[in-house]
Amino acid sequence: MTKAGLIETVAKRVDGLTKKQVEIIVNVIFDSIKNALAEGDKVEIRDFGNFRLRSRKQRLARNPKTGALVNVPPKRVPHFKVGRELRLMVNRQGN
């Protein structure tokens, strides 16, 4: 599902809101998650999952084209840990 698909699905399920209004709401939600992560906070959405930052240490990697060693600086990367209810729902659908 794309962001546009999500907006369309929500707009169909919620009476009284236009697609444009739903788009604004979806954008505010995504921006809030991004801003919280950028500030180092975690975002917990009960029964769905948690967004957190993980720290990656500095390391040496290899350039696949040239084979030369490259220094990769330390960085923080977003990580999503699925919630119990979502995990169970996905596993039920797969069986």
Q: What tens digit of pLDDT does each residue of 12-43 get?
A: 999 899 999 999 999 999 999 999 999 999 99
pTM of the model as a whole = 0.78
Listed residue (30, 45, 56) closest to 80, CA to CA: 45
Provide the residue range defining the domain that includes 3.
Answer: 1-41
pLDDT recorded at residue 10: 95
Q: Are residues 92 and 54 in the same domain?
A: yes
Statement to judge: residues 21 and 33 lie in one domain: yes
Of 54, 31, 26, give the one whose Cα is nearest residue 42: 54
Residue 9 CA: distances (Å) to CA of 62, 77, 81, 88: 44, 30, 24, 23
According to the model, what pLDDT value does residue 92 have? Answer: 87
Q: Are 46 and 90 within one domain?
A: yes
